[in-house]
Amino acid sequence: MDPEVWRWVWLAAAAAFIVGEITVAGTFFLLPFGLGAAVAAVFAFSGAGSATGWTIFVAVSLVASIAVRPIVRRLNATGDPISVGAERLIGQAGVVIRDLSAGADRMGAVRVGREEWHAESVDGVDLPTGTAIEVTDILGTRAIVRPVDSES
């Protein structure tokens, strides 16, 4: 192929890889190839042959791929997963709004944040209205709670 054509091929490849990277969010997979093609285009415009262009493309793409990995790893790192649904209540503090008794009908009610839940005590102990609690588990539509020590 004519060296004049390679200039435009490398430039078009660089544009295609970079546009592809922009449209595929969060991967950084095409960026190294876009950089490699852009550098190969610069060399092609300065008169380098096609073999040199391919060598530059492969070398720059490889180095850019290695260099971008720590950045991608840091950007994709996630902290604690955000709890969704009823699971978000586990560990939350609340207050008993209807007595939790140890009898046959052990269920009472608690308020956690702005929500009211049917609840039962984790130990089966009586918890009178107004007792501070912590949600330890969710079983279906019931919150399993334990009293919070007033000393802590």
Show the domain range for 98.
85-147
Of the residues 17, 46, 76, which one is the last residue of a structural domain? 76
Residues 22, 58: one domain? yes
Question: Among 83, 78, 120, which Cα is nearest to 99's?
Answer: 120
Identify the helix (H) or strand (E) that includes residue 19. helix 3-23
Residues 14, 42: one domain? yes
Of the residues 76, 94, 128, which one is the last residue of a structural domain? 76
| Residue 100 falls inside a structural domain | yes
Residues 70, 94: one domain? no
Residues 12, 70: one domain? yes
Of the residues 25, 47, 76, which one is the last residue of a structural domain? 76
DSSP 74: H
Residues 92, 138: one domain? yes
| Residue 109 falls inside a structural domain | yes
C-alpha dihedral, 38 to 39 to 41 to 44, nearest 10°: 180
Tally of CB atoms within 10 A around 80: 5
In this structure, are residues 35 and 67 in contact, taking their beta carbons and an 8 Å threshold? Answer: no
Joined together, the tokens standing for residue 89 give 């209540």
Residues 7, 60: one domain? yes
User: Tens digit of pLDDT per residue, the chain (152 long)?
Assistant: 787 899 999 999 999 999 999 998 777 889 999 999 999 999 999 998 899 999 999 999 999 999 999 988 888 777 666 667 788 889 999 999 999 886 666 789 999 999 999 999 888 788 899 999 999 999 988 999 999 986 54
Lookup result for tokens 């852009």: 38
| Residue 30 falls inside a structural domain | yes
| Residue 99 falls inside a structural domain | yes
| Residue 152 falls inside a structural domain | no
What pTM value is reported for the model? 0.52
DSSP 106: -
CATH of the domain at 100: 2.40.50.140
Q: Can you give the pLDDT at residue 10?
A: 95
